[in-house]
Structure 1
Amino acid sequence: MDGMGGLARVFGMSETVWRRHANPWSGWSRALTGLPLICLSIWSRAWIGSWAWAALGLVALWLWLNPRVFPPPPRFDSWMSRGVMGEKVYLAHRAALPAHHRRAAALLAWLSLPGLLVMSWGLYVLAADLVILGAALAALPKFWFIDRMVWILEDWQRAGGTVWQAG
């Protein structure tokens, strides 16, 4: 099981959920709140002790609910919608995609790791500057990854591929 495909299965990303997640409100709110809320909930151990686990659980619930609470968008032409659709194509058809897309997506995922390590250390020692720096270093490749997903979608559609199942 690969990491991203496994996460999509854990999050129960059915066809209906993917369509809802393609709503720009879903994509943007998840992208912009996920990492900061995770950091805040972990940091909150300094204020609320073991109740930080409850805060982290609420963040996990938000990340699970997010692609479900927004309706499918009336159009799928925004950058974020196309990025989400590209991620769906990437996860469902990775082996059929050109090698340059697979390599770039893997590289971008790995490029987030140094930022996540800095952020994690900052959360461990409660150093806000390291948390902010690490989160920024982790988020930048994520947004570049979304842009790569848009490119994957465009190439996939140009080659005659479809995103949504018929019906």
Structure 2
Amino acid sequence: MTIEQKIASFFQMDDETWARHANPLSVWTRTTTLLLLIFAFWSRVWLGMWSLVPIAIAIIWTWINPRLFKKPKSTDNWASMGVLGERVWLNRTEIPIPKHHRLVPNILSSLSGIGALCVIWGVFSLEIWPTLFGAVVVYLSKLWFLDRMVWLYQDMKDATPEYNSWLYDTDRE
């Protein structure tokens, strides 16, 4: 099981949850998660033990966000296809992906991890610059990763009937 599959399993991402997460509102509001976590953990300076409240809220937000929105009327957009590509990426051990899609997502995930370490160090030591630097690295690498997932999905959508069924636009039907 890949690390991405373990994360998806931890967040209990079933087909219905993935369909809801493909809503662009879910994708774009999920980008607030890192900032909420940074603020929540930094709030220990101002709130002391009460910082556990914003920390809990941020963690709950991370779990609830993919479930919060309705299934989109269309997945024919960048944000939705990024999520669909993530599903394809998660399934790469079952249905192999083209060679040109294998390296860059791993590099981007590693960069995101390095950025996350900088954020953790910055928040732990209450240093703004490593926190900001790390957050920028995380956001840039994650958005680039999503862009690669769009490309991956476009290349793989015809690999299986299931992948193809994920792309729809009820307004055009």
Does TM, normalized by the shorter one, top 0.5?
A: yes
Q: Which amino acid aligns with 1:130?
A: P
Mapped partners of 2:93, 2:106: distance in 1? 11
Whole-Å separation in 2 of the counterparts to 1:161 and 1:131 = 43
Deviations 1:103-142 (A, max 9, x none): 2111110011332222222111212232112101111111
Matched with 1:141 is 141
Q: For residues 83-94 of structure 1, what are the structure 2 equivalents within 5 Å?
A: 83-94=82-93
Q: Structure 2 length as normaliser, TM-score?
A: 0.87
Q: Which residue is equivalent to 2:24?
A: 24
TM-score under structure 1 length normalisation: 0.90
CA shift for structure 1 position 35: 0.5
The 1:97–1:161 alpha-carbon spacing in structure 2 relative to 1, beyond 3 Å, is: farther
CA contact (8 A) 1:11 1:64 kept: yes
Identity %, equivalent residues = 38
For the 8 Å contact 1:85–1:153, the answer to whether it is kept is yes
Distance 1:98 1:161, change over 3 A: farther
Matches within 5 A, 1:121-132: 121-132=121-132
Residue 36 of structure 1 pairs with residue 35 of structure 2: yes
Q: Check the 8 A contact 1:24/1:73 in 2, yes or no.
A: yes
Equivalent position of 1:53 in the other structure = 52
* Paired positions, count: 164
1:156 is matched with which residue? 156
Corresponding residue for residue 7 of structure 2: 7
Distance in 2, matches of 1:49 and 1:4, equals 34
Whether the 8 Å contact between 1:21 and 1:68 is mirrored in structure 2 is yes
State the secondary structure of the residue aligned to 1:72.
Answer: coil
Secondary structure at the counterpart of residue 91 of structure 2: helix
Amino acid at match of 2:42: W
SS at the partner of 2:162?
coil
Alpha-carbon distance in structure 2 between the residues aligned to 1:94 and 1:57: 34
CA RMSD of aligned residues (A): 1.7
Query: What's the CA shift string for 1:68-100, capped at 9, x where partnerless?
Result: 110011010110000001101111234511233
Q: CA deviation at 1:65?
A: 0.8
**Structure 1 runs of 4+ with >6 Å offset:** none
Partner residue, 1:116: 116
Measured at CA, do residues 161 and 152 of structure 1 come closer, stay the same or move farther in structure 2, by a change above 3 Å? farther
Unmatched tracts of structure 2, length 5 or more: 167-173
Q: Which residue of 2 aligns with 1:107?
A: 107
Whichever structure has more helix as a proportion of its residues is 1
Bigger shift: residues 18-27 or 3-12? 3-12
Tell me by how many angstroms 1:160 deviates. Answer: 4.9
